[in-house]
Every structure is written in C-alpha cells, then in structure tokens.
Amino acid sequence: ESETLITDYDFPYEGPFGAFDQMQLQRGLQVYTEVCAACHGLQYVSYRNLHDEGGPGLPEDQVRAYAAQFETFDEDLDDYRPATPADKFPQSALPEAPDLSLMAKSRAGFHGPYGSGLNQLFKGMGGPEYIASLLTGYEEAPACAPEDFPGYYNVAFGAGGYPEQCIDEDGHHMAPGSWIAMPPPLLGDDVVYEDGHPATIEEEAKDVTAFMMWTAEPKMMARKQAGFTGVLFLGLLAVLLYLTNKRIWHRAK
C-alpha cells in the first residue's frame, strides 16, 4: 500500500454558495490547450459548451475561432475539416494518456480514516485536489530507488510502479507516492496569461484542475441553485406546517 501526499487546495466552486470563477476556467482552458492537449484528449466535451454561462463563458465568435484551430474527421465528407462549435474536442493524442473529460470525478484525493470515508464526508471526494497535487507532486526520486527505474517519481500518485529496493522488511513503502509515466507537464511560466495572473506551477495546476472540474460537472452551478431553491421551499413548508399544526390543535392543548 502506498501513501500519497494530497494538499487540500481551495477552489472558488467549493461550498454551498461556491461558483466557478470564469477567469480561472479560461486560464485553465489555456493551460489545457497549450500544455496538456499535446497528449490528453477531452472527447466528451463539445466546443460550444465553452460559451456556457456558469462555465468559461467565451463569446461565440471566440468559440468558433477556438474550434477552427482543430481538425475533426467528418464521416459525411469522409475527410478532415476544421472543427465547428458543434464538434467535440479530440481524443487523446497519446494513447497511454487518459482522457481528461471526467478525470476530476473519477479520482479521489481523500480516503479513510481506516476505510470509514469520514474524510470524504468532511472534505469532499478530492478529485480536483488529487489532480492539482499530482501536477505539483514531482520530486527528486528517493535515494533507495535504482537510477534506471522507469517513470517519474511523484508523491501524489499511488497507482504506479514502485522499486522493491524502497520497500522495507515489513512491506512498508519508504517514500510516499510512486512512479508515473507522465513527465512533469508543468514547470512554471508554461503559459502567459492574458489577465496577468501569475503563472507559477501551483496557480497553473489549480487553474487547469478547476477547468477539469467544469468539464466533469458542467452543470454544477445549476445543481447548486436548484438545491438552494429546494432547501428554501422546504424551509418555508416546515414553517407553514408548524403553524398549521399549532392552529389545528390549539384547543386541545
């Protein structure tokens, strides 16, 4: 069993009144486009959704221009053509790199304690926290590992290879994390943000992760709104029922 180091990053969409930060989603789209898209696809996301309110909210002409940079295979034409807003993002360019559309909801950052799931109850599933920690989790390999062990050492990645030289007699891992096939994608200043936001590794990681939370749950804002309205109405109903009950039974008391 490998232990991993996950940071509980704060994101603007957290909590009952949290909302996606449009500028952050646009920065995250930029990081995805300029860095991650070299290997990873987003095959379940349509370009037109970049226009969504409660999402990145790009103006329609920018969405058209964004889509037109990519080629898509058209079955009717039996040929490639420039993509339009109605098309989907490409599949992963590198087959070993998993698609990122649903990644923020298919990983967990928090576990336990002791298999109870209480950490997830209080902190959330932690998919985005896991991804941001993964992107910032590359470190120099521990001294116990052989020089030629394949992959890159990452303290947040638990599912990768692990050298037996780093496992002690009791079977415990001597260093957190494991070895991952993805080379460190972010080094800091990998992009130049148009809004002047600092492009440190951590900020880039949080931005692209927030973008991936949006691709995985594009209707989160609508869901929170509906939940809030529901709670409000149930609260009102509770008050009315309480007063009705008082009134019906007032003579019996």
166 binds ligand HEM (CB under 6 A): no
Q: How far is the CB of 215 from ligand HEM (least distance, A)?
A: 11
Question: Is there a contact between 127 and 102 (Cβ–Cβ < 8 Å)?
Answer: no
Map residues 83-112 to x or -, x wherever contact with ligand HEM holds by CB under 6 A.
Answer: -----------x-xxx----x---x-----
Q: What is the DSSP string of 209-251?
A: HHHHHHHH-TTHHHHHHHHHHHHHHHHHHHHHHHHHHHHHTTT
What residues pair up with 200 in beta bridges, in sequence order? none
| Residue that has been written with the tokens 């909590």 in this structure | 15
Distance between the two ends of the chain, CA-based, in angstroms? 63
Stretch binding ligand HEM (CB under 6 A), from 14-22, 45-53, 129-137, 166-174: 129-137
Q: How far is the CB of 104 from ligand HEM (least distance, A)?
A: 8
Minimum Å gap between C-beta 246 and ligand HEM is 55
SS3 66: helix
Per-residue interface string for the shown chain with ligand HEM, residues 1-30, x marking contact by CB under 6 A: ------------------------------
Three-class DSSP category at 91: coil
39 binds ligand HEM (CB under 6 A): yes
Residue 136 beta carbon to ligand HEM: minimum distance, rounded to whole angstroms: 11
31 touches ligand HEM (CB under 6 A):
yes
Size of the site for ligand HEM (CB under 6 A): 24
Query: Could you tell me the smallest distance in angstroms from the CB atom of residue 239 to ligand HEM?
Result: 46
Least distance to ligand HEM, CB of residue 245, Å: 53
**DSSP assignment letter at 73:** E
Residues 6+ apart with CB under 8 A from 211: 24, 25, 27, 28, 29, 31, 32, 56
Parallel, antiparallel or unpaired: strands 152-154 and 79-82 = unpaired
Residues that bind ligand HEM (CB under 6 A): 31, 35-36, 38-40, 94, 96-98, 103, 107, 131, 134-135, 159-160, 180-183, 185-186, 208
